[in-house]
Structure 1
Amino acid sequence: MTPLERTLARALTEVVIRLDLSDDDAITPEATMQVIDPVSLLLQDLSEQDRQALADLINQFSQQETDPERQLTVIEAPETLGFLS
């Protein structure tokens, strides 16, 4: 992956972490889904190979996390984004 692709993947991962771990009073689950759903639809347009490459990259990010809660969120990110089961 290029530095641009890696940076965008990391940014996407950080958004998922922040949304997932936010207090429901700060960002409601409905608001979270209003952000995640359109992103998920865009990711569905990627080829299977590209979705797998993104999932692999996100998995690398999870291995860099030292906070267990953030790490679990990152591990679940591909499924949360709906491009891997």
Structure 2
Amino acid sequence: MTTLERTLAKALTEIVIRLDLSDDDAIAPGAAMQVLAPVIALLHELPEQDRRALAELINQCAQEETDPERHLTAWETPETLGLLA
């Protein structure tokens, strides 16, 4: 994968982590889903091979996380984004 692809996967993972772990008073869960819904829709348009490749990049990002809570959320990100469907 290219540096650009890896950086974009890492940025997407970071967004999901921050939305998921934010205090509900800061970002309501419904608002978080409103942010993610169009992203999920775009990702569903990708060919299955590309979705799997993105999921693998995100899993690599998850492996780099040292904080247990961030690690778990990152590990769940491919499922959250519907990449494994």
1:84 corresponding residue in structure 2: 84
Q: Which runs of 4+ in 1 moved over 4 A?
A: none
Q: How many Å apart are 1:63 and its aligned residue?
A: 0.8
Count residues with an aligned counterpart. 85
1:68 to partner: Cα distance: 0.4
Residue 82 of structure 1 deviates from its aligned partner by 1.4
State the distance in 2 between where 1:7 and 1:60 align. 12
1:21 and 1:36 map into 2 onto residues whose CA distance is 14
Match of 2:18 in 1: 18
Partner of 2:67: 67
CA RMSD in angstroms comes to 0.8
**CA offsets, 1:57-83, max 9 Å, x none?**
111111111000000000100111112
Structure 2 unaligned spans of 5+ = none
- Percent sequence identity over aligned pairs: 72
Aligned to 1:3: 3
Q: Deviations over 1:22-57 (max 9, x none)?
A: 000000001000011100000001111100001111
| Residue of structure 1 equivalent to 2:29 | 29
- TM-score, normalised via structure 2 length: 0.96
User: Mind listing any 5+ residue stretches in structure 1 that lack a counterpart?
Assistant: none
TM-score (structure 1 length as normaliser):
0.96
Q: CA deviation at 1:2?
A: 1.1
